[in-house]
Amino acid sequence: QFRQLQSLDDLRVVFDGVAVGTRAILWVVLLVTAFIFICALFLTRQIGHNVAVYGAYRKLSGGWDHDEYFGTMARSMYTLLQVMTLDGWSSSIVRHVINQQYYMVYFFSAFLLVTNYGVVNIVVSVIVQHICVSAQRTEARSYDLALANKKAELEGLVEVFMKVDRDDSGVIEYEEFLEAITNPEVLWRLRALDIPIDSAAKLFTVLSGVGSRPLTRDEFVKGCTKLKGPALGKDLLGIQAQADALGKRMDFLCDSIEESERMIDMLDEITRRMQTRYEPSLQGCRRKIAHAVGGSKPMAQPPREGSEPKNVAASLSVGNRPTLPMFPDLLH
């Protein structure tokens, strides 16, 4: 709908330019008519009534009659209008006149320069000038209307801020915003300003910029204005700078992770080599210790104090004594 109205404004500019330029065009037409009348008076005497020069030329030219083109004032004016519009002016008119009066080429050249290349361009320039003036006026009116809408929009945002700020603290808390977003009047004002309100938490996060910190009135108005209007160049540059900084951090984190993986792989390789190198010695040491200790080493460690419940007695086969063979029970 806005584009249709804008196209209608452009059409109205064209009509205004043509309408305003009509008076100038009428003056130009009067000027051209007066100029043609003066030139026709001259040509009627020089060509139309010049029987001595053009008397026998009708037979020699095969039928071209000077009286037909320049015999009267009306005929001369019509012929000059034909010359001005370049309608067969060379082969039908001027060529025959120059054949008898060569110096008339200067007259017709000057006439064409003044009428066809001068006056016609003046008419076009006048129309274009008035169209440009009308376009400037329309642009000024559009600018004034945009300023009025901008002022009304800012006033509406301030009213929304005052309704959201219930405690008159000058800032909007996250809880206040969540509570106010359920108010039908606040929702209606935000929708009237074309502010997206699909998610209240997401909207407040976007407005605050860093999360759920309190918002001042200027921050709230500026944030809502950016959400409503198109993205500005400086905003896009700021987002691009933040994206570049985040990309550099991610690259550094990736490099750190790759370095950690490389060190872990190196540590695994060193551990594997140490195990491969010292495994035979470790097995030999274990065999020597087992052979030297024999049966004097306890089979199991005695329970530590506090590790077992107090009401559970330890088995007699567990302790710091060697394992004895099973003797017969002589008492029983």
Q: First CA to last CA across the chain, in angstroms?
A: 114
What tokens appear for 60 in the block?
Answer: 């020699």
Cβ neighbours of residue 135 under 8 Å, at least 6 residues apart? 13, 17
Which is more confidently placed, 35 or 3?
A: 35
Tell me what pLDDT residue 306 has: 54
Contact by Cβ (8 Å): 99, 64: no
Tell me what pLDDT residue 35 has: 92
Which is more confidently placed, 30 or 123?
A: 30
Entry pTM: 0.43
Tell me what pLDDT residue 3 has: 45
Where do the domains of the chain lie, and which CATH numbers do they carry? 9-143 (1.10.287.70), 165-227 (no CATH)
Give the Cα separation of 260 and 255 in Å (integer). 9
Decide: helix, strand or coil at residue 309.
coil
Question: Across the chain, what does the average pLDDT equal?
Answer: 75
Tell me what pLDDT residue 243 has: 82
Own/partner pairs, 281-286, CB within 8 angstroms, 24+ separation: none
Contact by Cβ (8 Å): 171, 219: no
Of 20-34, 66-80, 234-248, least confident by mean pLDDT is 234-248
Of 93-97, 102-106, 212-216, least confident by mean pLDDT is 212-216
Provide the pLDDT confidence category of residue 2 given band limits of 50, 70 and 90: very low
Provide the pLDDT confidence category of residue 28 given band limits of 50, 70 and 90: confident
Decide: helix, strand or coil at residue 324.
coil
